[in-house]
């Protein structure tokens, strides 16, 4: 089992949106970074833990706990000419972009970015490193355990 932090802009899909979706599940679409795509395609497995992170908003931070609930499959938005995620080089035979489905486990009280930065146990957490802009990052099991046992207040 692996652990991930996955960023979503609340204006696109928030934790509350996820809670309202059928089966509380969403396709993690629109990833257009090869490293993040490779994480989904090559490393994520059904059952992996996910910290659902609100990004690019007034108060960024971890808003919920989720899990990967499907293997990777082609992201349909790459084929949709009306989508901002359309990729003219992608074909049905050779898709370029993948996604996984993510299912809500529980919504939590927001753990703000500033709060995460205060803890020495998280000093190596990839999301907190200067210059990191990846929308999906792996978590060390110790980071997952610290956040889910020490910082989560539901």
Query: Which tens digits make up the pLDDT trace of 86-129?
Result: 999 999 999 999 999 999 999 999 999 999 999 999 999 999 99
Domains of the chain by range and CATH? 3-135 (3.10.590.10)
In angstroms, the Cα distances linking 117 to 59, 93, 125 are 14, 43, 9
* Mean pLDDT, rounded, for 62-68: 98
pLDDT of 127: 93
154 pLDDT above the threshold of 60? no
Q: Is the distance from CB of 125 to CB of 139 less than 8 angstroms?
A: yes
pLDDT of 95: 97
Q: What percent of the chain has pLDDT over 70?
A: 99
pLDDT of 118: 96
The full DSSP string for 106-139 is EEEEEEEHHHHHT-GGGTT-GGGSTT---SEEEE
Pairing of strands 49-54, 3-8: parallel
* Mean pLDDT, rounded, for 75-82: 97
Query: Which tens digits make up the pLDDT trace of 20-38?
Result: 999 999 999 999 999 999 9
H-only helix segments in the chain = 15-20, 34-38, 113-117, 141-146
Reported confidence tier of residue 132, pLDDT bands at 50, 70, 90: confident
Q: What percent of the chain has pLDDT over 90?
A: 95
Residue 22 makes CB contacts below 8 A (sequence gap 6+) with none
Dist CA 83 CA 69 (whole Å): 24
Reported confidence tier of residue 153, pLDDT bands at 50, 70, 90: confident
pLDDT of 10: 96
């Amino acid at each position: 089992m692996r652990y991930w932090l996955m960023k979503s802009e609340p204006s696109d899909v928030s934790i509350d949106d996820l809670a309202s979706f059928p089966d509380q599940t969403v396709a993690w679409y629109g990833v257009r970074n090869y490293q993040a795509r490779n994480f989904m395609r090559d490393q994520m497995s059904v059952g992996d833990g996910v910290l659902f992170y609100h990004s690019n908003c007034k108060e960024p931070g971890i808003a919920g706990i989720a899990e990967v609930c499907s293997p990777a499959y082609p992201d349909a938005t790459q084929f949709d000419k009306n989508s901002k995620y359309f990729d003219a080089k992608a074909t049905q035979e050779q898709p370029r972009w993948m996604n996984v489905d993510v299912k809500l486990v529980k919504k939590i009280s927001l753990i703000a970015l500033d709060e995460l930065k205060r803890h020495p146990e998280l000093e190596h957490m990839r999301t907190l490193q200067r210059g990191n802009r990846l929308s999906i990052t792996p978590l060390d099991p110790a980071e997952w355990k610290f956040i889910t046992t020490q910082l989560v207040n539901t």
